[in-house]
Structures are given as structure tokens and as C-alpha cells.
Chain A
Amino acid sequence: MLLIHCPYCDEERPELEFRNAGEAHIARSNNIAAESDEDFEKFFFIRSNPKGVIFERWRHIHGCARFFNAARDTITDRFLLTYKAGEPKPDLTKLAADAGPAAWANRPPDQLNEKPKAKRPTKGEA
């Protein structure tokens, strides 16, 4: 079970209190009725699903009930940062550099014994 820091309660609480709410930083258009099919497709259907850092929304549903954003590594499940809704997207390069070594799961065997790089390769920066 993950520990998640709620930026509103300013407390680290168990995952049971939270619910994931999908990818973050996908804004609904103020004039959605006039959006092109392509733009609506991007807004509603397309998600980045990265192997690496994802920005996603969580709700502290059994706590303060607030929605907030998080940067989480999908390989290690490690939360790099949580921040309030409406705050800007944090700098990914800095976050990744601070995050420490990645887990080895899913690495090809010939890379298994490689020394961890200072900066992790991250795909799908979105």
C-alpha cells in the first residue's frame, strides 16, 4: 500500500484514503462545443500512459475530499511530488534527477547489472 501526501491536509496518509482520478493537466476547453473532432479526441480519449513519470490526479476521497495532482513513477510507484490543483506542472527533469534509482523490473537481462545512471531515462513526457 502506497503512502500518499495530501497537499491540502499536508499529511502522508495510506492509499486506502485516496482514489486515482486519471491523468492530470488535461484542461476542458472553455468553448468545448466548438472544438474540432481532433481536439476533442485529444482531450477526451488520448492519454500518455508513460513508462516513467506520469502526472495524475488523485482525490483524498476519504479525507478532505479534495482533488490534487501528483507526479508518480509508473515503474517504481514512487510519488515524486504531490501538489494542489491549479498549481503549474513541476519541472520533470529536476524531479527525475532527485528521484534516486529506478527499480530493475522489466529491464532486459543484459542491462541487469548496469550501474544506475545519475538521471533516469524517462519516456512519455507529456
Chain B
Amino acid sequence: MAGSYRISGQGRLTPAKTARFTFDGKAMTGLSGDTVASALLANGVHLVGRSFKYHRPRGILSAGAEEPNALVTVERDAARKTPNVRATVQELYDGLTVNSQNRWPSLSFDVGAVNDLASPMFSAGFYYKTFMWPKAAWHKFYEPNIRAAAGLGVAPDQPDPDHYSARYAHCEVLVLGGGAAGLAAALAAAETGVRVIICDEQADFGGALRYEKGAVIDGQDGWSWAQATVAKLAAMDNVTVLSRTTAFGYYAQNFVGLVERVTDHLARPGRDEPRERLWQVRARRVVIATGAIERHMVFANNDRPGVMLASAARTFLNHYGVVVGKQVGVYTANDSAYAAAIDLKKAGVGIAAIVDLRDNPTGPLVDEARALAIEVNHGRAVTSANGSQRIKSMTVQAKGGGAERTIAVDALLMSAGWTPSVHMFSQSRGKVAFDDATKRFLPGTYAQDCVSVGACNGSDSLEDSVAQALEAGANAARDAGAKVSKGTALKVEASEGWTGGMLGSGPGAGAGTTVKAFVDFQNEVTAKDIRQAVHEGMRSIEHVKRFTTNGMATDQGKTSNMHGLAIAAEALGKDIPQVGLTTFRAPYTPVTFGAIVNHARHGLFDPTRKTPTHSWAESHGAVFEDVGQWKRAWYFPRSGEDMHAAVDRECVTVRKAAGLFDASTLGKIEVVGPDAAKFMELLYTNPWEKLEVGRCRYGIMLREDGFIYDDGVVGRLAADRFHVTTTTGGAARVMNHMEDYLQTEFPNLDVWLTSVSEQWAVIAVQGPNSRDIIAPLVEGIDMSDEAMPHMSVREGRICGVPTRLFRMSFTGDRGFEVNVPADYGRAVWEALWAEGQKHGACAYGTEAMHVLRAEKGYIIVGQDTDGTVTPNDAGLDWAVGKKKTDFVGIRGLTRPDLVAKGRKQLVGLRTKDPRTVLEEGAQIVENPKQAIPMKMIGHVTSSYWSANCDRSIAMGLVLGGRDRIGETLYVPMPDGVIEVEVTGTVFFDEKGDRLNG
């Protein structure tokens, strides 16, 4: 027998199929089909963890997804340690390793339990009050110690080696929940032929039929009917049956997130199997059949191991064949706990007594209990569970007080009634309504195309649930377009059912008491805490929730919400619907990051873009940098060179001889059409109508607010055709910006926009020898200075392939940019490289490109500008067409703040010590001796060591900068103040002769 508390002849597991596991290192045996919880209970283990705040011993409360207490760590190997797994959900497999959490040095002796004695310090809102003084102690003392002492399991410290998969699915009818109602709804919908998906969080379908022994449907006992129905559904082509699958989020327009646990229950998962599968389902209709969750009773020490929900004890017995004790007490406010007591009694377990809060309970279950000679105490309450690591006895008292009686028990079953699971309905933004007769929230007004059936809709009997579900399933299918109607019928021949119960604290835990009567087990909120929150001024249930953290733990208050609400309502002297219910949010139960992140990690997190010469650069030792999604060659170190040496050499070589640079990442847009020039006039500050065909111009694009948005060189290829370049990072947004204006503001213009960024490879050849390198390879283009001056563009052929050859420069030296179709990019690069070798050229990367442009004071949008810089601020007023009457940003430029004096302007910064290189982003001040916080008048935007200037160079945005030229300013740094002189922005070849040299 796998465990001494396993009863032969009870439950549905096969005794021969044993599975070994360890709990805190101790070897135990369970059965295949067990959960960790049922296997531990079979071995007589109730104490499975320590609580979050007070480190109180905790046991197993439930047998399902609502479990707040029994959180354990499951370990497969060093990298696969999953904390905070609910023992009631994790299925047992042979070789499973389970450890308890939040205890040191051991589960039975835990130092942190001193918190329980100090509990007055940790009452509601203690975060906000207790640790406020002295202020400095928070970081040094309180926070680290609280963090170390509190908390749940330990997060794994290695990367997750598992993989996860994702699927999108569409169906006419999605059924959430596979109990009797869900199965009936799925059956009725499926028989019409429409696509149906049904999911359930458990390994087996059946829901409450798992423990309800009294149900008979279509001549079979309930559980057998459920299994036969699932088999029938699974065999249908139009039905997808998903077990171990939790619907965790209900989003807009019937978009429901499901997570399927594929391998967590397997001893040896296949290597190709994903651990979990995320389903994103779009359904025409959703049937919500999520059942109800039993509530605990709120009384002193109701968290002692051995105290559990009545339905849980019944599940452990009827499904797993495990008894939760030998002498069991029962404390209830409704009939359902009687059924548990009766089942246990019939299985040979001693029932010490049923304590029923109701004054005069009647009915067949009460009669049957009495007939089985179970002592029934009505009008009485359990006022305390006694014992520490396991309940030893319960204290019983008449409701109104009086003599106490102590009854020895080793387990205590409780039931305060059932809370319909309206989570999914509420997540769908449906509006719940309070049913005053039964004191519960039920689905009220629907916001989406869904319907609730069964216990989650307030149905108390199996007959009603099945009838509702059959109708809802058929209607959902019909509304979603089913052509046939089948009239599926089911005969419920016997069933169980009960109603009623109580909300809030029981006797002995009412107003004025200070006992630990837990409402929320996981976050350790007691009835007293909730009253205290109201006493301290919280009026809204949302405030009470946040102040006490009631319902905010990982179980999201499945057992606690209604009790908390009732206690708050009582303290406020209001009715429950007036206090309102807090919002249910996704996820219904915790979802792993792995399932959400899914494939989107490592190389699949974001696309990687590579230029046509990427492989050449790699083989020539380039170091790459990430620029957005692009990999760009940063510098090309030769053997023995560090970055500094390589960049210096590249910068000097370009100016002395020539350099090749891959500029393919530049955004490129072709603007074509009869109104192309008109469109360019509107989108850029510059004049375009008079630009001759074959010439280029540096263009500035503004936003409507007048600030620089992008820049780039534009070539006019024909009267109706412009080749526009954008910054690398701006390519997509500039295209969007242009399309926006073309489609919505200037739709009268006859213009076509085409992104050609990926179609053209761009090879910049810069430096005095650049023409000599290119010319031998070019056909049909006269490259002489007279025929092709600076800022011109020609079409022709290079190496036999078409080219758009720009004469332009981002270095200040004579330069060209060779555009060729991307597929020829590498071949043309290699041909140019071979020519370049004859002329002393090098390949250079983005770092040298940055230095070379900074030597000339050429700006980089996004580095020297930040979205608050006008053309005038950047010293680019010359690029704004003064005679133009309209362009995007023209009005913004005349806003009062943009024309006011004292704006930040881009200037050059020369350090007094030429060897000192400023830090980009460093702040600039007028007087370094002023008191902190100093008045900052600007910051460094670009700063480099320039080998060509043999000194450091920098640019910065400085308040009234151009009027300060010649002034000395200061850059305070942690290790001293750096003196800088304000200068113009051109550091090299100020006259610009080299452009033609």
C-alpha cells in the first residue's frame, strides 16, 4: 500500500502502479495519478510549508487550483527548480523531488517562526507604518531583513533549459471547464458539427464528479459518464479536448489565453516536447463552466495543518483513496460537509463530531449522518483549532458563548458554503450582480459573446446545470453558425446538491477579538486585519484590499474574497453590494514566464538585420555593434590593436588616403510622381522645386512642432523622382510620417512612396583617393570635378551592375556613396576593396565614421538632437527655405518658446587639456564653485579623441551657446572639474577645401 493512510477499495487509482518521490529528502511512495498533496497525505504528512509572513506551519487546504497554503518547490535538476508549485495541482511521477519552502533550518524547526510571536508588528498596513523610522534604516536594515525573512520559494538561478510552444486557434464554441456542465455544453455544441474546444485544468475531466459519489447520468455513475463523454468528444474531428489546460485570461472580443502543461507530470519528458503550450483562442461563442469553490470557516487558528475544506477531504478519499485522518472533526454552515463526513465514516474513519453553525439543520444528509451515529452539534461553533504542527483538538462552544468543550481530532473539515467562480466572466468585463437570497455574486450583465452555465452561474443542482449547459451549448453553436441542431439530451438520474452557507468570521473571531482567524491564508490576512483597515479609514473595498493585501496573493483570493468583503461590509455597516467586489484580473492562476515569453528569446527575441557585406566584415575581423536591429561593423582591429588604436588608424587613413564604409543601413525612400517635388517641399524644410536633376541636397525633416525629426541627403534622379535617404534608426518612422501626410493631409498630390532601404547596398568610399578607387570600375559616368561636383548623383554601371553614384561626404573629405542592388553589394565591395588596396585605403567602421563627422561638426539626429532641437538650435538655419509658405513644422518654428532668446544651441567644446576626452551626457555649468545642486546650462552630446586633430573634440547643447563662443565653462565630474572652451562646431578643415581636394 502506497502510504499508511491509503484505504484499499477506495479511490480510482491502481494500487500496483506505484511512484517513488522524496519530500525534503525523505523517500516516500505514492501512486500514479496522485497529486503531490494526495501522495503526502497518504503518507500521513499534513505539514508541508511555512507561511509567508508569520512562518506558521501550513498544511493542505484544498484539492485543487485554489490552494493557498501547500506551495512547494519541484526540482528536476539544477536548472529546473520550480518554486511555488501548488501541491494540489502538481501530479506525481516516479522520481519526483519536492521540497518545502520558506523555512530554515527545517520545516519542523523554523527560526522565522519568531515572526508569529512578533505578529502585532506585522498587522494590516505594517509596511506603511512600522518601518518608517529612522529613515536611513529602511535600506540598510528593515528592507533586507524583511525580504530575507518573508517570501515564498526561491527563484531558479539558471536559465530555463525547457522550451515552450504557442498556438493560435479558432473555433465556434470554446468551453471553459470540463465538469458535468462543461462536458454537456461541449457535447451539445459538438454534435451540431461546429468547431469546439473544451479545456480543463485537471488531468482528468469531470470536475466535481471527482468527489460527488451520488451522481448518476445516463445510467452511469457521474465519473464514468464524464470519462465516456470525454472519449466521445475526443473522437470527434471537430473537437479539440485539452486537459491540464488552464484558461488564465479572457481578453477583448472572445480572445482567451489557455496554458497547457505538457510535460510537468512526466517522469521523463521527451526532448522534443515543449514544457508548456500557450493557446491563444479566438472563439465566436464562449461557454463558461468554471464551477464553484468551497469557502473555509473563519475561526481562530484555522490554518493549522489538518484543517481543510470538506470537499478536499472528500476528493482525497473518493478519487485518491486517501483518508486525511483517523478521528476527524467537521465544522460547517451548509450541507456539503455532511456528505464528506458520511463518505469518510463509511470508509471506516472515525467522525468525532459535526459542528453545525445552523440552528436546526434538516434534510436527508443530516438524517443520514445521524443514522450513521455521527454526533451532530447544531447551533454551535468551532472557536479554535488547537495544536501546532498538526491539529490536535477543536474547541467547541455554543454560538452565543458559554461552556467550551474540547474534542480531540487529527483533522478538521470545514465548509462555509460555495463561491461561484465568476473570474472568467468578470475578466470578460461582464458585470456581476449580488443575489441577496443566496448571498453571492453571480453573472449579471454580459459584455461579450459568452454565457455562464452550472455552478458558476449559481445553479445548485446537477439536473439544472446539465439542462442549462445543453441549451447553452446548442445555442452557442447555432449563434456561431451551426447549420444543424441535434437536440442532445442527457438524463440525470441521481445527484447531490446543496445551497446556503455563511460569509465572514464565525463566533469567537468577531469584532473585538484578536485571534488569528485567517481570511486570506497566503497573504496572512485575518478578520481582525480587515476590521482594522476599516477602523483606520479605508472605506472602499479596493482600499481595504490594498491596505491588508487580502486576495492579492498568488491564489488571488479564490477562497478569501467573499469572507473579506463580508467582514468589511459588517465593519462599515453597509450591505455587501454597496461595498462592491474587487476586480478579477488575469491570470486566473499563475502562468510561467516561459509560456508567455515562449519562442521570443535569444535569436528569436527580435529580428537581426545584416548588411550585404556582413560576412566580409566578419572575415576581416570586424567588431560589430548593435544599431537597432542592425549589426554594424564598429571597427576593424588589426592584430595587436585595441579599439582606440584601430579607430585612430582608420580615421587617419581615410583623410590621408581613403576608406570604405558600409552605409547600407541608411533608410532609403523613393519619392516618385508628377507632384514629387511639391511633396518634398511640404515634408522637408528645404526648397526642392529648383534642385536640378542630378544634384543632391542635405534635407531636414521636422515634426509639426518645429523640432528636428530626421535628416539625410536627397538626390534628384529625374524631374519626378527623388532618392531620399534617412537615418538608420529613422527609416521606418520617416516612411510612416511621409505616408501619413500623403494619405491624410495631402491626398491630392500625385506621389508614390516606396521603401528601398533593403534594395540598395550602399558603399561609402571617402577620402582624397576615393575617385581613383571608383573610377576604373565605373561605366557611363564622367567623374571629373567639372562633370560631377560635390553633391551630385549619377546613374550608370559599376562592375557591370546598375549603380546610383552619389558624390557626397559625411567625412568632409572628397567622397562618394556607391548604391548598387543589394545582391551585388558584397561583389562590388570586394572589387572596390581590391582597387582600394592599390591606393592605401582601409575599411572603417561606425566608430571612425562618428569621429570623422564630428571633426566636421556634422550632427547625428538623435545624438546631437533629442526631439527638442530646432534647425536654428543646431546651427542649420541655412537649410530652412525662407521663402516657403508651407512645410511640416513651419508653424511650430514660430512658437513663442522656439523663437525666444536663451535656447540651448549646439556648439563645439574644446577641453583646456587636449588629452582629456569628455564623457557624453556630462553636464555643463558656468561656475563650478556654486553649491550643489548646481545650475546646469547644457550637456555634452558628442565627444571623441580625434587623431586627425591630435586632441579631444566635443559638441554640446549649451544655453545661449553661440553667444558664449570663447567663454570658459566647466564640466564637473566625480574625479574633478574639467575646463572647456566654447567654440564653433568645425574642428578640422574649417574652410571645407578638402571636399573638393
Contacts and interface: CB of A to CB of B under 8 A. Distances in A.
Interface of A: 1-3, 19, 21, 27-28, 31-33, 35, 37, 40, 44, 57, 59, 61, 65-67, 76-78, 85-86, 101-105, 107-110, 112-113, 116
B740 A109 contact: no
B743 A33 contact: no
13 contacts: A19-B736, A28-B745, A32-B891, A40-B891, A76-B429, A76-B447, A78-B252, A85-B743, A85-B744, A103-B430, A104-B430, A104-B431, A113-B433
Contacts of A35: 891
Contact of A112 (B431, B704, B896): B431
B577 A44 contact: no
A101 B445 contact: yes
B890 A33 contact: yes
B434 interface: yes
A33 B890 CA distance: 6
Contacts of B510: none
A116 B445 contact: yes
A61 B739 CA distance: 10
Interface stretch (B516-524, B578-586, B632-640): B578-586
Given A33-B886, A40-B891, A76-B429, A67 B578 contact: no
A19 B732 CA distance: 13
A4 B413 CA distance: 51
B541 A109 contact: yes
Contact of B744 (A33, A57, A76, A101): A57
Interface string B459-492: 0000000000000000000000000000000000
A101 B447 contact: yes
A113 B444 contact: yes
A69 B847 CA distance: 44
A47 to B, nearest CB: 14
Nearest to B431: A104
Contacts of B253: 1-3
B739 A67 contact: yes
A78 B446 CA distance: 14
Of A3, A66, A103, A113, which is in contact with the most chain B CB atoms at under 10 Å from its CB? A113
A114 B986 CA distance: 71
Given A32-B890, A112-B577, A103 B736 contact: no
A20 to B, nearest CB: 12
B283 to A, nearest CB: 12
Nearest to A12: B253
A107 B230 CA distance: 41
Interface string B369-397: 00000000000000000000000000000
A49 B86 CA distance: 43
A15 B280 CA distance: 14
Given A33-B894, A61-B736, 4 more contacts: A76-B429, A101-B431, A104-B445, A112-B433
A77 B445 contact: no
Contact of A44 (B280, B581, B705): B705
B580 A112 contact: yes
B915 interface: no
B885 interface: yes
A112 B565 CA distance: 15
Contact of A86 (B430, B432, B747, B895): B747
Task: Classify chain B: how many residues form its interface, as a range.
Answer: 35 or more
Contacts of B429: 76, 103-105
B495 interface: no
Nearest to A85: B744
Nearest to B168: A14
B890 A109 contact: no
B743 A67 contact: yes
B526 to A, nearest CB: 24
B580 A109 contact: yes
Contact of A110 (B446, B578, B736): B578
Contacts of A105: 429, 583
Given A104-B429, A109-B540, A59 B445 contact: no
A36 B743 CA distance: 26
Q: Which 8 A-B pairs have the closest CB atoms?
A: A109-B580, A104-B431, A103-B429, A32-B891, A67-B743, A103-B447, A77-B252, A28-B745
Contacts of A28: 704, 745
B698 interface: no
B255 interface: yes
Contact of A37 (B445, B705, B745, B895): B895
Interface in B438-456: 444-447
A109 B891 contact: no
Interface string B536-568: 000011000000000000000000000000000
Contacts of A19: 736
Contacts of A101: 431, 445-447
B251 interface: yes
B960 interface: no
B886 A67 contact: no
Contacts of B251: 1
A44 to B, nearest CB: 6
A125 B540 CA distance: 30
B456 to A, nearest CB: 17
Given A3-B253, A109-B580, A112-B431, A33 B885 contact: yes
A44 B704 contact: yes
Nearest to A57: B744
Contacts of A112: 431-433, 577, 580-581
Contacts of B895: 37, 40
Nearest to A45: B705
B431 A32 contact: no
Contacts of B789: none
Interface string B224-264: 00000000000000000000000000011101000000000
Interface string B571-591: 000000111110100000000
A57 B744 CA distance: 10
Of A40, A57, A107, which is in contact with the most chain B CB atoms at under 10 Å from its CB? A40
Contacts of A1: 251-253, 255, 280
A116 B431 CA distance: 10
B821 interface: no
Contacts of A32: 886, 890-891
B892 interface: yes
Of B444, B446, B747, which is in contact with the most chain A CB atoms at under 10 Å from its CB? B444
Nearest to A28: B745
A88 to B, nearest CB: 15
A31 B891 CA distance: 9
B252 A59 contact: no
A78 B892 CA distance: 35
B885 to A, nearest CB: 6
A108 B890 CA distance: 47
Contacts of A103: 429-431, 447
Contact of B740 (A21, A77, A113): A21
Interface string B972-997: 00000000000000000000000000
A33 to B, nearest CB: 5
Interface in B881-940: 885-886, 890-892, 894-896
Contacts of B892: 40, 44
A83 to B, nearest CB: 13
A21 B737 CA distance: 10
Nearest to A104: B431
Given A32-B891, A59-B736, A76-B429, A109 B579 contact: yes
Contacts of B736: 19, 59, 61
B438 to A, nearest CB: 15
Contacts of B891: 32-33, 35, 40
A78 B449 CA distance: 12
A67 B740 contact: yes
Given A2-B253, A32-B890, A33-B886, A67 B579 contact: no
B896 A37 contact: yes
A66 B739 CA distance: 8
Of B255, B579, B583, B891, which is in contact with the most chain A CB atoms at under 10 Å from its CB? B891
